[in-house]
């Protein structure tokens, strides 16, 4: 992923500068270091950074003074204050004067990682320039914040986003896996009055219940074994911004009750704490499941459902808006060509035809994976039918697929495996399922390399 | 060009203190199979006491990596394996530490412990492969199913499959070819 963010680390302790810059470099950022406030300002005059990580306590100019100097020279600069353990007072002071966050050293790797995610999200917001409407007015092609297409269906969705975004109502986004519901959530955030606050996303389906709980609510020191330090949860981080709960259909009824209480009272306590914390955020949720069905099966609470589902936006699957395929394919092709440095320029008309003839069960994500793969194997400047051969056989077999679902599944799996030379790992990735699941299915259907 | 890569190890696994021999075999086998990095296990050494930080009751990963990097003998890449807790000056702990595009790395099995030994080994192998990826010059990747993704918690590490995404795989093949050519 192209990450052009440039970061300056300012600390008088060399080991801290080195350790932080090594960590950030591995994350793909370009990093420079300065040993003092004066050096930082001198370097800044040469080249501005997007983010400054500043130690609070330094000889000469201290962190707060440097913060003021940086803000005077570069008002849009993001700054994170690093403070010594136990000096929360200085951290609070720094936040009041415009630091976006703080870290008490030494900090947990996951804490640093979470803060960087927030900085990235905030930056994405800043960079997604003009409003949605301006972006596609007068052109047939829609492209905004990674949402790409030209279909009427997508235009309808974007219009709905324009309408719901400025309201403060909770929005539920529905659509199949891989349709890009996360991008729509971000689009709503950017067009809302919370746009200048944080956009905090969490996938409710990707973690265990206990982990999700501590991730959302945070915890106080000693709340459970291993909670060595107090930690803010995502609810707290989303204050003043938007909280995006992806895969909301996966959360347990107990967690639904807890969240419902937070949404109603606009306050909550960290795990192991009893100090209520006031919060205010806009809620956007998403699911690929049929929540009404879950309601009927009593796996989803009615009161919670109506709380999160004030407004609904549905994004149709890619097979219902095939006009978006060529635009999306070109978008991903340019992206991966740039990332891998391969001189791939475009798709032949025949290749586009093949892509449009396919029914994309994995939606935009599958298209993205296919293009990524094709760019990696491409030999020439143009991608032709030859490179997409795996996709064609794979689909033809599906289309002539007869009667039963079981037969269709077997043919589909077989096609994918053939396309990947029976490499189970690659085929699983293409099908967007995990390797174990695929192996199990192969065993069940007795699928073997011929 | 024909190079018999099985003959010459590219990576030395160096156990510090007592390490389960089976753990070392699993690490070496996975480095070899998943990454294609010919690996050999060296005799174990005493714990690196000069890297011990008494107040934190942890070992300084940066110091261990530095001393491994300065060693003259051995394979092109060397990776320490330790059963004690590792940290770096700014972070409360690390599972592993490595030089990006460099020679030396160290991993700790301390926080990877699981009742089922198999799970501990698998976690260790994922960390070892991830750090070896850094040695080859790979940065973190954002693909959810890729070993070069930074795992915030063990739960995330456990969810990772034992493989790289296609972009990283492509990059590894390229970097490995280069490493084989410059093995000395
Ligand atoms: Zn890493
Ligand atoms: Zn990757």
Please give the tally of structural domains in chain B: 1
Q: B183: which strand partners?
A: none
Q: B91: which strand partners?
A: A107, B88
For residue B1, being part of any structural domain is answered with no
Q: How far is the CA of B176 from the centre of ligand 2 (A)?
A: 16
Task: Give the span between the Cα atoms of A24 and B117, in whole angstroms.
Answer: 32
CA distance B25 to chain A (A): 23
pLDDT of residue A133: 38
Could you tell me the two tokens for A419? 């396309």
For residue B65, being part of any structural domain is answered with yes
Query: What backbone torsions phi and psi does residue B50 show, to the nearest 5 degrees?
Result: -70, -15
Q: How far is the CA of B166 from the centre of ligand 2 (A)?
A: 7
Kindly name the residue from B97, B122, B131, B171 that is annotated as catalytic: B131
Quick check: A372 and B93 CB within 8 A? no
pLDDT of residue A87: 66
The verdict on whether B131 is a catalytic residue reads yes
Could you tell me the two tokens for A194? 């919370």
Quick check: A376 and B170 CB within 8 A? yes
- What's the CATH code of the domain at B54? 3.40.390.10
Chain B residue closest to A113 (CA)? B152
Is residue A252 within 8 angstroms of chain B, CB to CB? no
Q: Which of A307, A277, A172 is nearest to A216 (CA)?
A: A277
Is-contact B17 B46, C-beta < 8 A?
yes
A106 cis-preceded (ω within 30 degrees of 0) = yes
Within A297-358, where are the H helices?
Answer: 302-308, 324-340, 349-356
A311: which DSSP letter? Answer: E
Question: Which residues of chain B are under the pLDDT cut of 50?
Answer: 1-5
Q: How far is the CA of A335 from the centre of ligand 2 (A)?
A: 15
Task: Give the span between the Cα atoms of A53 and A80, in whole angstroms.
Answer: 5
Is residue B181 within 8 angstroms of chain A, CB to CB? no
Task: Give the span between the Cα atoms of A45 and A22, in whole angstroms.
Answer: 24
Q: How far is the CA of A64 from the centre of ligand 1 (A)?
A: 32
Q: How far is the CA of A110 from the centre of ligand 1 (A)?
A: 12
Say how many CA atoms lie within 13 Å of A196 toward its Cβ.
3
Task: Give the span between the Cα atoms of A428 and A413, in whole angstroms.
Answer: 9
Task: Give the span between the Cα atoms of A14 and B93, in whole angstroms.
Answer: 19
Is residue A18 within 8 angstroms of chain B, CB to CB? yes
Is-contact A161 A195, C-beta < 8 A?
no
Quick check: A23 and B91 CB within 8 A? yes
Sign for the CA dihedral angle at A173, A177, A181, A182 comes to: positive
Instruction: Give per-residue pLDDT as tens, B161-179.
Output: 999 988 888 889 888 888 8
Within A238-380, where are the H helices?
Answer: 253-265, 291-296, 302-308, 324-340, 349-356, 363-377
Q: In A, which residues are within 8 Å of B88 by CB distance?
A: 19
Is residue B45 within 8 angstroms of chain A, CB to CB? no
Chain B residue closest to A30 (CA)? B139
pLDDT of residue A232: 85
CA distance A26 to chain B (A): 5
Q: Which of B28, B141, B113 is nearest to B78 (CA)?
A: B28
For residue B5, being part of any structural domain is answered with no
pLDDT of residue B138: 93
Domains of chain A, each with CATH number or no CATH: 6-107 (3.40.50.2300), 120-314 (3.40.50.300), 319-444 (1.10.8.60)
Is beta strand A382-383 parallel, antiparallel or unpaired with respect to A346-347? parallel
By residue range, what is the domain housing residue B138? 11-179
The beta-strand segments (E) located in chain B are 11-16, 39-41, 52-53, 58-60, 77-82, 86-88, 91-94, 96-98, 104-108
Chain B residue closest to A339 (CA)? B167
For residue B63, being part of any structural domain is answered with yes
Chain A residue closest to B140 (CA)? A27
Could you tell me the two tokens for A318? 């890619």
Question: Which residues of chain A are under the pLDDT cut of 70?
Answer: 1-4, 85-88, 124-145, 225-228, 392-405, 407
Instruction: Give per-residue pLDDT as tens, A125-173.
Output: 666 543 443 333 344 566 666 788 888 888 889 888 888 888 888 999 9
Q: Is the ipTM of this complex over 0.95?
A: no
């Amino acid at each position: 992923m192209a990450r052009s963010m440039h970061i300056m680390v300012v600390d008088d302790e060399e080991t801290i500068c080195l350790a932080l810059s090594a960590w950030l470099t591995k994350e793909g950022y370009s990093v420079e270091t300065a040993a003092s406030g004066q050096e930082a300002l001198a370097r800044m005059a040469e080249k501005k950074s997007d983010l400054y990580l500043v130690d609070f306590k330094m000889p000469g100019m201290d962190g707060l003074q440097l913060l003021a100097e940086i803000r005077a020279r570069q008002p849009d600069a993001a700054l994170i204050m690093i403070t010594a353990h136990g000096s929360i007072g200085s951290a609070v002071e720094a936040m009041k004067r415009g630091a976006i966050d703080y870290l008490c050293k030494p900090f947990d790797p996951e804490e640093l990682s979470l803060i960087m995610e927030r900085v990235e999200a905030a930056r994405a917001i800043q960079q997604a320039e003009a409003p949605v409407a301006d972006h596609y007015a007068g052109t047939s092609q829609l492209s905004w914040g990674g949402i790409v297409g030209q279909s009427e269906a997508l235009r309808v969705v974007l219009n709905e986003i324009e309408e719901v975004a400025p309201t403060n109502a909770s929005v539920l986004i529905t659509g199949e896996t891989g349709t890009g519901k996360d991008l729509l959530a971000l689009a709503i955030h950017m067009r809302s009055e919370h746009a200048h606050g944080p956009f905090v996303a969490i996938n409710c389906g990707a973690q265990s219940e206990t982990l999700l709980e501590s991730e959302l609510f945070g915890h106080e020191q000693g709340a459970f074994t291993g909670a060595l330090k107090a930690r803010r949860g995502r609810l707290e981080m989303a204050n003043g911004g938007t909280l995006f709960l992806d895969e909301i259909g996966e959360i347990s009824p107990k967690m639904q009750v807890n969240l419902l209480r937070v949404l109603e009272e606009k306050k909550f306590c960290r795990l192991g704490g009893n100090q209520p914390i006031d919060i205010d955020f806009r809620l956007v949720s998403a699911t690929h499941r049929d929540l009404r069905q879950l309601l009927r099966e009593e796996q989803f609470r009615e009161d919670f459902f109506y709380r999160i589902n004030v407004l609904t936006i549905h994004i149709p699957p890619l097979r219902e808006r095939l006009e978006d395929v060529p635009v999306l394919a070109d978008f991903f092709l340019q992206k991966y060509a740039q990332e891998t440095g391969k001189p791939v320029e475009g798709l032949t008309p025949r290749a586009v035809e093949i892509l449009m003839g396919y029914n994309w069960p994995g939606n935009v994500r599958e298209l993205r994976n296919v293009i990524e793969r094709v760019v990696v194997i491409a030999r020439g400047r143009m991608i032709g039918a030859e490179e997409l051969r795996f996709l064609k056989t794979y689909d033809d077999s599906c289309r002539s697929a007869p009667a039963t679902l079981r037969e269709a599944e077997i043919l589909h799996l077989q096609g994918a495996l053939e396309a990947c030379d029976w490499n189970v790992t690659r085929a699983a990735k293409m099908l967007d399922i995990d390797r174990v699941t695929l192996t199990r299915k192969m065993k069940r259907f007795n699928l073997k390399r011929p | 060009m024909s190079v018999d890569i099985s003959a010459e190890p590219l990576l030395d696994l160096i156990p510090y203190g007592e390490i389960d021999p089976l753990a070392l075999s699993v690490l070496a086998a996975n480095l070899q199979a998943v990454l294609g990095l010919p690996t050999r296990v060296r005799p174990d050494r005493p714990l690196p006491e000069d890297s011990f930080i008494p107040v934190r009751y942890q070992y300084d990963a940066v110091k261990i990596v530095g001393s491994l990097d300065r060693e003259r003998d051995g394979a092109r890449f060397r990776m320490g394996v330790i059963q004690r807790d590792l940290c770096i000056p700014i972070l409360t702990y690390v599972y592993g530490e490595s030089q990006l595009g460099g020679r030396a790395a160290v991993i700790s099995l301390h926080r990877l412990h699981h009742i089922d030994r198999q799970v501990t080994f698998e976690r260790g192998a994922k960390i070892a492969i991830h750090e070896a990826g850094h040695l080859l010059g790979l940065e973190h990747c954002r693909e959810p199913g890729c070993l070069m993704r930074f795992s915030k918690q063990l739960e995330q590490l456990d969810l990772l499959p034992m493989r790289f995404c296609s972009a990283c795989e492509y990059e590894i093949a390229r970097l490995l070819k280069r490493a084989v050519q410059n093995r000395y």
